[in-house]
Chains A and B, each alone.
Chain A
Amino acid sequence: MPDLLLELFSEEIPARMQGKAADDLRRMVTDKLVAEGLVYEGAKAFATPRRLALTVHGIPARQPDLKTERRGPKVGAPDAAVQGFLKATGLRSLDEAKIQRDPKGDFYIGLIEKPGRDAIDVLAEILPVIIRTFPWPKSMRWGARSGKPGSLNWVRPLHAITATFGLETEEPDVVKFEVDGIEAGQTTYGHRFLAPAAISVRRFEDYEAKLLDAKVVLDPERRKDAILTDAKQLAFAQGFELIEDQNLLDEVAGLVEWPVVLMGSFEQEFLATPGEVIRATIRNNQKCFVVSDPKAGKLANKFILVANIEATDGGATIIAGNERVIRARLSDAKFFYETDLKTKLEDRLPKFDQIVFHEKLGTQAERIKRIERLAAEIAPLVGADVAKATRAAHLAKADLLTEVVGEFPEVQGLMGKYYALAQGEDASVAAACEEHYKPQGPADRVPTDPVSVAVALADKLDTLVGFWAIDEKPTGSKDPYALRRAALGVIRLIAENTLRLSLMKVAVSALAGLSVKTADAQKLPSDLLAFFADRLKVQLREQGARHDLVDAVFALGGQDDLLMIVRRVEALGKFLDSDDGKNLLAGTKRASNILSIEEKKDKRTFDGAPDAALYSLAEEKALAKAIGEVKAEASAAVAREDFAAAMSAMARLRPPVDAFFDKVRVNDDDAKVRENRLKLLNEIRSATRAVADFSKIQD
């Protein structure tokens, strides 16, 4: 079956857009093919800075013929309806229609046969539409045609389109279409500098090979592999190690069609600046890699750059030029760092009076005061020294006003630590300047130093309570203040450090510190708690754990100790994995179902203790006895926070519950006995509530 080759050749496409554009192109073309009845065998898309390319192989040469039936008017309908039907179906007369009988009468049925079209004609129709509607994040107009409305929008000026279709064994045909004056053909171009001449291509195989001859590596994965291998090799040859950086690699591979890896150096003296600053400078501004010296355990005074040409001088000029720029950048960074060291962190704080954190939540200075107060309050709960936690909260944001952080926002916190250490702060205080931002995401480390933990919790809870108070909660995919991440951070800080904390109390206290008045201050802490419950569920789901159990535990009410909730959910999960657990859950649900039916029937509940005198069967008595014992035992275990013990106590309910349902008929003829047995069922439900609300658990 024939294959399609499509290439869209343009001016330089931003590196960050290339991957998605290739995916979009593949998806849009193949979706459209399938929708047109052309089921293909495979497709692959590629991007370089100057081109998007797509190969789809095994496309049928023709669409299948389509047969559809169209129901027409009733037999004997007025002529206007008949004529309309004939026109719509293309039938010459009613003789060509079938008659179908259904309960409403006899109807004409027209059979419409639509012969399949040649795939190349279908392609000529769909490709220009896809090009015109391509979802670039940002697109533009250009050239003389942009003077008129309706000109093409593309990411950067589009220069050529290659589109061929045909069998491997034959000369392929050009898919004939044009977009904005650009005719599809079979001519593309090689590397901008190394082989700029036009190239005539037939199909994907010779296309890819000819491009390679013309110094273009089409496949971004191959470019990445080449860069990574060469960079490691270059570093290794000098006794260094490449510091790998996936995002940088992705970006750099999107900036070159013919990667040439070169190594340069900078002056040793710059290594006095923190390694992270050097790395940020070289990486962000110059898109170069850094290398480490494994013997010294720190950065080496080398960098690795990826050029786009094989220079005639072997790269000497390129290296010298990059070294020049990097030297200038590093001397700026060094200057920033040294300037920063001249001002104490606390001396920067008055500036925060002028900086608005959020128009409704006041200035940064106010926010810092709130965090200080909250950190001091949380400190004893997490085993942190109150004075240190307060000091750390006081200084933690100050590095935002330093030159280095102004230049490289990603080293915020880290620079705070360096500057705090430099001015002789306590090690925990300095660490908290960095770690109070943590954890930043699911993969980030959770701090363990109690001072860091106190400030991290205070920072996040102030944020959460503040944005809740001004009703800026996350909605759908929108979470501009990263509140979900903050809540997850709180959960992980508490769970991984096994902290005991009443979230309600802390939330109420954080709320009291806000100057903004909120309409439903009463509801806020429990609202926020529900948000934590949701985050916890998401987290458990991502870990592959049962998340429905979170609801079963929260439904008990009054649960605001995250650690206990997590423990309880874990114990419950384990219990429900056992046979005893599963059967008890089934038994409890059965009891609940019977109860709700009978409650509806009698329009009453069956609360209250059953009357022991009305027990007639051994199974009733045994169940009542077991409930009594288990309830007491489970409650005691819960009270000493031994949820596993509570669960094993629960497990002992299973045999009497099973035996009860096996032998005892609940709906006895004697109304009194029936009532008493329903009360006993109710007791099963209430006994299990010592550990969770079983009715919220999914089967």
Chain B
Amino acid sequence: MDASLPAHMRPERSFQGFILALQRFWAEQGCVILQPYDMEMGAGTFHPATTLRALGPKPWNAAYVQPSRRPKDGRYGENPNRMQHYYQFQVIMKPSPPNLQELYLKSLAAIGIDSAVHDIRFVEDDWESPTLGAWGLGWECWCDGMEVSQFTYFQQVAGFECAPVAGELTYGLERLAMYVQGVDRVYDLNFNGREGDAKVTYGDVFLQAEQEYSRHNFEHADTAMLFEQFKMAEAACRKYLDAGWREGNRREHLMALPAYDQCIKASHVFNLLDARGVISVTERQSYILRVRELAKACGEAWIHTEAGGAA
């Protein structure tokens, strides 16, 4: 922890200070600090800076905050720690550096978690994303019995072997901040680190949104429109993928990123439909497969782009 910080910027005092401390730490490790991707997605992994950049031979080190939308997890603001919108902090390093575990532990120290008094553990957790056609091995990282991060060595993404392998870290920001601030209810988090009238809480910022979006996700989201949007996103994704091959030769692709946006879109629309309870158990699987096919095709396109390592 940086002792020179003003009190309201300290990670144990403010949610924003907490995020800034993480960003600063990873910036010092040579990561590019990106801003959130401008689309709705279920996890930071969906960000093209992770999904697509994990593929291909080129080194890539990045860190960013990504709002995660999980329509089904909405609780109308009544649950102390479950929300349909929350923040993940994502770090990706390709190839995975040999000291990634040490770096992770140092990042915890940077946000005020001292390994001399906290019990930090790496507990087996194999990660798999059926919608992204991705899997990896790693751990959930525990701090005093609480899962605070996911640590994964990507083995495969979009159906392609990762060569070299990227290491991915995902911090559940609210949960960690609650622990560091010592509050039991996410809405009680001090957001800006100020006290008295100047204090803004997480609830001030997000409680109304949680209530409104829960209503939307479970009761009112327009399912006819969403079914249509799913089909449109799927068709658009295919269309951009087909159109993107330079001179149709399947050696070089020129539109992997816009195509992948449509895959992200389809995935989020599916999550909304799922929350609305209009997808049956058997259909569910087939929707997941459809998104996976898009993700795979986007991955294929990506490795034929310059950043994806095509010569």
Decide whether A and B assemble into one complex: yes
Q: Which residues of A contact B (CB under 8 A)?
A: 11-12, 14-16, 49, 138-149, 155-157, 159, 193, 255-256, 286-288, 305, 307-309, 311-313, 316-318, 320-322, 324-326, 328, 354-356
B245 at the interface (CB under 8 A from A): no
Given contacts A12-B122, A14-B124, contact A288 B145 (CB under 8 A): yes
With A and B bound together, what is the CA distance between A12 and B105 in angstroms?
14
Given contacts A255-B121, A328-B80, contact A355 B281 (CB under 8 A): yes
User: Cβ of B96: which chain A residues have Cβ within 8 Å of it?
Assistant: 142-143, 157
Given contacts A142-B153, A157-B98, contact A11 B145 (CB under 8 A): no
Q: Which residue of A lies closest to B152 (CB)?
A: A140
Given contacts A11-B101, A140-B137, A143-B96, contact A318 B119 (CB under 8 A): yes
A309 and B281 contacting across the interface, CB-CB below 8 Å: no
User: Cβ of A322: which chain B residues have Cβ within 8 Å of it?
Assistant: 144-145
Given contacts A140-B137, A142-B165, contact A321 B145 (CB under 8 A): yes
Given contacts A138-B137, A311-B117, A312-B116, contact A143 B165 (CB under 8 A): yes
Q: Among residues 31 to 82 in chain B, which have CB atoms less than 8 Å away from a CB atom of chain A?
A: 57, 80-81
B117 contact from A49, A142, A143, A312, Cβ within 8 A: A312
Q: Which residue of A lies closest to B98 (CB)?
A: A143
B203 at the interface (CB under 8 A from A): no
A141 and B155 contacting across the interface, CB-CB below 8 Å: yes
With A and B bound together, what is the CA distance between A255 and B120 in angstroms?
11
With A and B bound together, what is the CA distance between A256 and B142 in angstroms?
12
Q: Which residue of A lies closest to B179 (CB)?
A: A321
Give the shortest distance, in Å, between A157 (CB) and chain B (any CB): 7
Q: Count residues of chain B with CB under 8 A from any CB of chain A.
A: 39
A326 and B165 contacting across the interface, CB-CB below 8 Å: no
User: Cβ of A325: which chain B residues have Cβ within 8 Å of it?
Assistant: 144-146
Give the shortest distance, in Å, between A195 (CB) and chain B (any CB): 13
B139 at the interface (CB under 8 A from A): yes
Please report the number of residue pairs spanning A and B whose Cβ atoms sit closer than 8 angstroms: 117
B136 at the interface (CB under 8 A from A): yes
Q: Which 4 A-B pairs have the closest CB atoms?
A: A321-B144, A14-B124, A147-B164, A12-B122
A selection of 8 A-B contacts at a CB cut-off of 8 Å is A140-B137, A141-B153, A141-B155, A145-B164, A286-B145, A287-B145, A311-B116, A317-B117
Q: Which residues of B contact A (CB under 8 A)?
A: 57, 80-81, 95-98, 101, 115-124, 126, 136-139, 143-146, 153, 155, 162-165, 167, 179, 184, 280-282
Give the shortest distance, in Å, between A445 (CB) and chain B (any CB): 32
B165 contact from A12, A146, A193, A324, Cβ within 8 A: A146
With A and B bound together, what is the CA distance between A354 and B277 in angstroms?
13
A321 contact from B57, B98, B143, Cβ within 8 A: B143
B115 and A309 contacting across the interface, CB-CB below 8 Å: yes
User: Cβ of A321: which chain B residues have Cβ within 8 Å of it?
Assistant: 118-119, 143-146, 179
User: Cβ of B162: which chain A residues have Cβ within 8 Å of it?
Assistant: 141, 146
With A and B bound together, what is the CA distance between A305 and B97 in angstroms?
33
Give the shortest distance, in Å, between B241 (CB) and chain A (any CB): 26
User: Cβ of A16: which chain B residues have Cβ within 8 Å of it?
Assistant: 124
User: Cβ of B164: which chain A residues have Cβ within 8 Å of it?
Assistant: 141, 143-147
With A and B bound together, what is the CA distance between A470 and B292 in angstroms?
32
Q: Which residue of B lies closest to A141 (CB)?
A: B165
With A and B bound together, what is the CA distance between A12 and B81 in angstroms?
29
Give the shortest distance, in Å, between B275 (CB) and chain A (any CB): 17
A147 and B163 contacting across the interface, CB-CB below 8 Å: yes
User: Cβ of A312: which chain B residues have Cβ within 8 Å of it?
Assistant: 116-117
B153 and A318 contacting across the interface, CB-CB below 8 Å: no
B137 and A193 contacting across the interface, CB-CB below 8 Å: no
Given contacts A146-B165, A324-B184, contact A318 B118 (CB under 8 A): yes
